[in-house]
Structure formats: structure tokens, C-alpha cells
Structure 1
């Protein structure tokens, strides 16, 4: 298992910070400089340099400038351009205003979600957050946080609504979801809420960037019966595919090729096993009429 990021109290990294960290690593390796040598240039430990490259800490501008020079970057315009990007990367994401209710481990998820070109996922229990109605979202939040104050639930619901604008923006990512039939059979929030949720999903199938597939009970066992996960793919070459798996107490991020390939292979097999996306709207309509 390899964690692509290790969110600290300073906040989850923006995707741009991940990109610049990777670029710093590439510059160091091309210059033939070890982590230890880079650390000595900054008068810090090699671990500090590694954490900068892995986007586990913010990019201190004096450190970045010193590293660029150490790596042989001397053109003033090239250095100033990199530093300008570093300052931009250090700015908190829009979700930072929700830090009172949003844990760092999920802040990282929101950052990846907002920058991905493709989002693929398997959901065995809930409609994906990006496609939930307000009533359905409130019911799921309350079920997961039974002791939370109403104000906290309201804040989380507002955050989820903000995230949903991603689906219909001009440069919206491809959202490709496989949902287990269980998702549609469990009456979260009551049957009225479920009918409205199914109608929302039917509308989503009409969007050019949304592909929904349902894994029917009749399909039998499948490769991802361990739990939900997401896979993010980016246009920027510096960022590898990243897989995310969630538990009751947090989330884990994977960027090693072998790890991500395991998730991708499972999802590809499931897509072949599930009902084709072209039939999803009819399936949803049939279920809605049964309620």
C-alpha cells in the first residue's frame, strides 16, 4: 500500500502542489542530486525535501528557490515562473472554508475530484455524492454522523451541493459509476426520497459526461465486493492515476502503478459484468414505478 499523500494539520495538498512537487523531484533526479544532498543545500533533513516532493507539506518559497538553483535552474524568468506557481499552489482550495467540518483526509479527495479529467467509481451502498438529491444527502449524512449537530449536517450538505457543480461545469470530467442494485433497493430517507433520487439519476444519464451502470443481484459475485472505491485520472502527465478507498475512520490513497492497476482491473471486469449504460435509464424507471 502506498499513500499518495499524508494530509497534516496544515491542510490537504492542492493538485497543483502535487504537480510542482513532482517537478522538483524530476529536476533533482535529472541533476543527479540525492535527497541527502538537497537537504544539505537547505540545511534541513532529507525527509523535508522528500515531503515537499510528495506534497505532504507546503512549498516554502525560499526553499523552492534554493532548490531550483541547486538543480541548475539559473534563468530568472524560469525561477520566477516556478515561484509564482508555488505561491498559487500554497493557496487553500475553495473547500478550505469548510475546514470546521471537513477532515484533512477528505479534503484531499475533494481536491482530486475537482481536478480530475476522469472519475470512475464503484458504490455498493449509496448513490455517489455528486449525484445525490438534497434530501437523500441529508439522510446519508445523518446515518453516518448520528451524533452530529444539525448545524454540522447543514454545513456538510452545503459542501456536497458545492461539489455537485462539478458535474455540469463547462470542463466537467467524465463520471463513470458502477452502482450495486442494493443502492437502489434500500429506502434511504423513505420511498418518496428514493423516487426523487431515482429521477435525479435518470436525468443524470442524459448528461454527455455521465455514465451509470447498475450491477444487478443476478450478476452474482464480482471483483470489488470488499467496499467502495474511486479512481481519478488527470490530464497533467505529472499526476499518476490515483485510487481512493474509504473506511469508517478515514480514507487511503494509492498511486503506485501495481496498486492502481488492481483497482482498474476490478472495475473493468465489473463494467463488463454490470448492465450496459444504455439500459440504466430504463432500469431506474422500472424500479421507480415499483415504489
Structure 2
């Protein structure tokens, strides 16, 4: 488990090394064609050296990589402010870990989210996002709260991009019943969940209180899945002071199996939507 920058450098280096092998080149030959010293290629491949987006482009050209999705994903890992990098407008106050989280979220083909306390950011209403941010970070100035809430809702464009990612979320029932912002805000938020549950690329399930204790009760987590490059899959686990990024293949597999098990214990999508509607009716009485 490492912070994002190290994870990202190592993953990028591993993938570039794999592509070099597929191209049938040694690191020395690759360096010669790129006009570099061999040690630069080695440092990039081991994750010991930062790499620019221009460097990635050079290596992909050397390895004759034409697939646009592959090029976009690897450039994303190098930190490119590409056409979907709207979050760089907020870079003055967004921690690098959060910017990298959004970057991974934007590039993933499938997003698996377990939430025990609050509505996932991709499904929050602006009012809910503002109330939650103000409650979680009481020391922030009003303009900072507003900006962070704006980021939270701006992230939701990922669900409308082309191609759209598959989004699967399992929410503990407490997410529906925790009062964030008051009855009016919660009513609007629950209505938003009902709408989201009807989207063809969204699968929303609720873990009812009757499910009892379960393996995900102590931590929320998100799994970013890259179907075309499974070796880039990563898990982000929330904790008290931030988040941990888990990228070892066996660990990602364990979290994925846990998520599958939680989905099996959760209510089916139709029953989950019905529970959300019932809770909303209770809130609006």
C-alpha cells in the first residue's frame, strides 16, 4: 500500500516495460531509439524516476503503440492534463492524492464502490455535497466548502462520458438514513439515488441492517477497473486521515471477491430501489 504518486510511477513503469518486451527491444535499444541514456529507461521502468507525458509519448512511439485507449491510459498515469482533466482548475487546494483519485476515476472502465456512511460522490446532489463537506471540514471557509462541493458534483460527468463506465455501488442502509443537511436535502438526495438506479450502466444495491455484520463494515473502498489493462486495476481504501491505494494483484483480487460477496448479501437492484423510495417517503412525511 502506497500513496498514489509511487503507485502510479510503478504501474506506468511496469506497463512500459511490458510494451518494450512486446516490441522485442532491450532497454538499451529503446533508449538509443529515443535518444536517451539507457539508465533513463531503467529508472522509468522501475518507478524510481518521474516521467513526463512527453517521455511516455516518445516511448509509445518507439514501441509502435497505436491503440488510442492504451495511449490515453498510460498518459493519464503520467499525470497528463488531457481533455477530461477539468480538476486541474482546482489544483491550488485539491491534494495530489485527490487529483489522482479523480484521474483514475475518469479513466476507469468499471467502478465498484462500497460505502458505509455517505452517498458516493458520483451520486451526490449539489446540496448534499455542500452539507456533507461543511460537516466533515468545519474549519474551511465558505468559499472553500463551495469549491470542494463543486468538485464533488463535477466528478459526475464521468457517468455521462463516452464511453460510459459501468458503475456498481453497494450502500449500507445507514447511508440512506443518516441525516445530512436536513429532511429537504435528504429527500432530494434519495430521489437522486432513485433516478441513478434506473440508469442502464448503474447497478445500485443496498445492504440492509438485517444483513448484520459484514466484511465491509469497517471501511469503505472503491475499485477502479481497467478492462483493457487489468494490471492497472487499483483499490482505494478510506481511513481516518486520508486513503490508501492498494495495487498488488492478489490484494485487488481479494477486494474484488469481497465486493462480489457483499453484492450477494445485498438486496437485488429492484428491492434496493424500493427501499430507497420507502425511506424517502419517511423523510418527506
Comparing 195-204 with 230-239, greater Cα deviation is found at 230-239
Aligned to 1:173: 165
Aligned to 1:6: 6
1:153 aligns with 2:145: yes
Q: C-alpha separation between the residues in 1 aligned to 2:125 and 2:60?
A: 48
Helix, strand or coil: the match of 2:223? Answer: strand
Indicate how the Cα distance of structure 1 residues 44 and 24 shifts in structure 2: closer, same or farther if over 3 A, else same.
closer
Show the counterpart of 1:255.
247
**2:6 aligned counterpart, secondary structure:** coil
Q: Which residue of 2 aligns with 1:129?
A: 121
For 2:47, which of 45, 51, 57 is the aligned residue?
51
Give the TM-score, by structure 2 length.
Answer: 0.81
Aligned residues: 271
TM-superposition CA deviations, 1:247-288 (whole Å, max 9, x none): 232222122111111111111111111111111221111111
Residue 213 of structure 2 is matched in structure 1 by 221
3-state SS of 1:122 partner: strand
Q: Render the CA deviation track for 1:166-213: whole Å, top value 9, x for unaligned.
A: 223342211111101111111111111111111111111111111111
- In 1, the alpha carbon distance for the partners of 2:220 and 2:133 equals 16
Q: Are 1:104 and 2:100 an aligned pair?
A: no
Supply the distance in 2 between the matched residues of 1:186 and 1:213 (Cα, whole angstroms). Answer: 17
SS in 2 for 1:6: helix
**TM-score, L = length of structure 1:** 0.79
Query: Given the superposition, is the C-alpha separation of residues 145 and 57 from structure 1 closer, same or farther in structure 2, using an over 3 Å criterion?
Result: farther
Cα distance between partner residues in 2 of 1:127 and 1:138: 13
1:190 to 1:161, Cα distance in 2 relative to 1, 3 A = same
- The answer for unaligned runs of 5 or more in structure 1 is none
CA contact (8 A) 2:126 2:150 kept: no
Gaps of 5+ in 2: none
Structure 1 counterpart of 2:106: 114
Quote the RMSD (CA, aligned, Å).
3.5
The residue number in structure 2 matching 1:143 is 135
